[in-house]
Structures are given as structure tokens and as C-alpha cells.
Amino acid sequence: MVTDWSYWAVQTLNGLQLSMLLFLLSVGLTVIFGLLHFVNLAHGALYGLGAYIGISAAAATGSYWAGFAAAPIVVALTGMLLYLGLMKRMRQAGPMNQVLVTLGLIFVFVDVFRLIWGDLAIGTAAPAIFSGRSDVFGVVYPTYRLFIIALGAIVMAALALVLSRTQLGAMIRAGVDNDQMAACLGVNVERIFFIVFCVGCALAGLAGAVAVPVFSAHPDMGTEILISTLIVVVVGGMGSLRGAVAGSFLVGFAQTFGAVLVPEVASLLIYALLAGVLVFRPTGLFPARA
């Protein structure tokens, strides 16, 4: 089995799928880190919220796509409220206070999930057109997982395009590089911050809704994926799209292939990766600011 190439092809697709999910989550977080210097531990909880909104919207309308559309919008709105109510005033408070306030938010979110959706894991079915299996280069693979990979690739390409080719992208890059200088040159840095924050939240919500048919939702799901997401962000280097891409692939493939090749130490692998990167390159592989 191990020498069979289709086995490795399936593992590669699994790795890709996990990487894409991590990318959707971490890209918002990394740009929020880089641009706002804000440590948002509640990002994982927003992913959980996206999953639950996706389930509820799908259950109410009977269509998966309602959840797919509703989750990013509702999560972005929630993020907006959090930003205006709490995070804006924490901007200058230093990383420790931000870590703590958003840690407090995690506790609140997890209990809100319990209160509304209960303790048990719930899920929703994949949409009908993606529910079967597909043949990719002679390998049979669930179509829905291919959809996740494709969605991740599309978002990745769109973000790369926006960041490198549009004026908004140029303003974001300027803000990450030197926010004070950007402000002096007439860029409304506050508004850019706000837009980026909302888009980051929307992507986290989208990731949640997309993950549900594969992983099903439970109250602690956000807390569990948070660590992997943070590792992606720190390993990749804060604030850069390239870092988020590299980090997602590194962590996604380390987790997938670690479990296959070295099951004894698989779960240690990503932490060792994080520790190693922090020791030898304390600012990550591709930091936005040298």
C-alpha cells in the first residue's frame, strides 16, 4: 500500500485540503497581526461561529449555499461589532492585553455556542453537486474536498491579485510596512485597518462554513484549530500573504504526512516546527517587515 502511488496522491490531496483551510483562517489573522499589530486569539472562535451559522442557515433554508453565503456576512458583522466595541480601544494596549481580552472572548464565545447550539457535535451535508466522489488522475477522492482545495486556491489567487495589483492592495502593503508614513502620505490607515479586519473575519467565517461537512461543528472547534492557525502565522511571518501561503502548506503537509510517516511523533511535529522557526528565525520565514 505504501509503495502505491495513488496512496500518496490521496495523502497529498489531504494535505492540500488542510493547507487551504488553514490558509483561509490564517490569512486574515496574519494581515490583522501585520497591519494592526493586533493579536486576535478570538479568530478561532469566529471560525466556530461561521460553522454554526452555516449549519443554522442551511437547516433553515434547506440549502448548503445559504450557509455558505450567510456565514461570512454574519461573522464579518460580528467582527465589526467586536472591533468597534472592544478591539479598537485595545489597539495601543500592547500584545499582552490583547491576548488576554481576546482570550476572554474565546471563553464567552464557547459558552455562547453551548447555549445556542448545545454541547454535541452537529454537522450538515455537503451540497448535492459536490456530494459524490471524483476521479483525479486515476485516484478516487471526495468531490467536496476537491471543492475546498479549489476554493482555497481561488481565494489565494484573488488576494494575491488584490494585494499586488490594486490601489487598495498597495495601501495595505504600505500600511503593513510603515503605518505612520502611509498615514502621512494621505492613506486613511484607520479605514484600511477596518476593511482588512472585516475581510479577515469574513474569511474565517467562510472557512468555518466550508469545514462543517468534513469536520462537523462542536463548541471547542475554534479553540482547537486556533493553535494550528497561530503556528501558520508565526512560522510564515506576520503580515505577509507569502508567509501565510508558505506557513499553511508547511503546517498542513507536516500534519498530514507526519501522521502517515512518523505517527509516533506526528502531533509533536508542528510544535517542533514552530519552536525551530522561532529559535532560528525569530520573525518567521517571510515577515512583511524585514
Partner 1 sequence: MFRQSLLKTIVILALLGGGVVYTFFTGYFGKELVIEAATLAILAISLDMVAGYGGMISLCHGAIFGIGAYTFAALTVLFGVHPLLAFAAAIVATALFGAVVGAITSRTHGIFFIMATLAFGQMAYVTIFESRTLGGDDGLAGVPRLDLSAIGIDLMNSTNFALFAIAALALVYVIAAFVLRSGFGRTLVGIHVNEARMKAVGLTVWHYKAAAFGISGALAGLGGAIAAQQTMFVSPELLVWMVSGTVLMVVIFGGIGTLVGPAVGAVVWVFLKHEISSITVHWHMIAGAVLIITIVAGGRGLYGQIEYMIENRRAKQKQPDETNVSPLAQERETHA
Positions in 153-182 near partner 1 (CB under 8 A) = none
CB of 44 to partner 1, least distance (A): 12
Q: How far apart are CA 153 and CA 289, in angstroms?
A: 25
Q: State which amino acid sits at residue 96.
A: M
> Rule CB under 8 A: is residue 290 a binding residue for partner 1?
no
Binds partner 1 (CB under 8 A): choice among 104, 150, 166, 168: 104
Positions in 105-124 near partner 1 (CB under 8 A) = 105-108, 110-112, 114-115
Taking a C-beta distance cutoff of 8 angstroms, is the pair 220, 110 a contact? yes
> Rule CB under 8 A: is residue 97 a binding residue for partner 1?
yes
- Which CB atom, from 10 or from 269, has the smaller least distance to partner 1? 269
> Rule CB under 8 A: is residue 101 a binding residue for partner 1?
yes
The owner of cell 517587515 is 289
Stretch that binds partner 1, among 17-25, 133-141, 199-207, 260-268 (CB under 8 A): 260-268
Phi, psi of 79 (to 5 degrees): -60, -40
Stretch that binds partner 1, among 21-29, 69-77, 139-147, 267-275 (CB under 8 A): 267-275
> Rule CB under 8 A: is residue 36 a binding residue for partner 1?
no
Binds partner 1 (CB under 8 A): choice among 20, 39, 71, 245: 39
Adjacent-strand bridge partners of 217? 122
Binds partner 1 (CB under 8 A): choice among 23, 33, 144, 147: 33
* Residues in CB range of 6: below 8 A, 6 or more apart: 138, 139
Q: How far apart are CA 108 and CA 266, in angstroms?
A: 32
Q: How far apart are CA 129 and CA 259, in angstroms?
A: 31
> Rule CB under 8 A: is residue 183 a binding residue for partner 1?
no
> Rule CB under 8 A: is residue 289 a binding residue for partner 1?
no
> Rule CB under 8 A: is residue 95 a binding residue for partner 1?
yes
Give the DSSP H/E element, type plus range, for residue 133: strand 133-136
Per-residue binding string, partner 1, 191-230, x by CB under 8 A, is: --------------------------------x---x--x
> Rule CB under 8 A: is residue 268 a binding residue for partner 1?
yes
Q: How far apart are CA 193 and CA 211, in angstroms?
A: 27
CB of 194 to partner 1, least distance (A): 20
Q: State which amino acid sits at residue 151.
A: L
* Residues in CB range of 204: below 8 A, 6 or more apart: 24, 25, 28, 29, 43, 46, 47, 50, 75, 79
Burial 211-230, CB ≥16 within 10 A → b, else e: bbbebebbbbbbbebbebbb
| Residue numbers at the binding site for partner 1 (CB under 8 A) | 33, 39, 86, 89-90, 93, 95-97, 99-101, 103-108, 110-112, 114-115, 223, 227, 230-231, 234, 264, 267-268, 271-272, 274-275, 278-279, 282-283
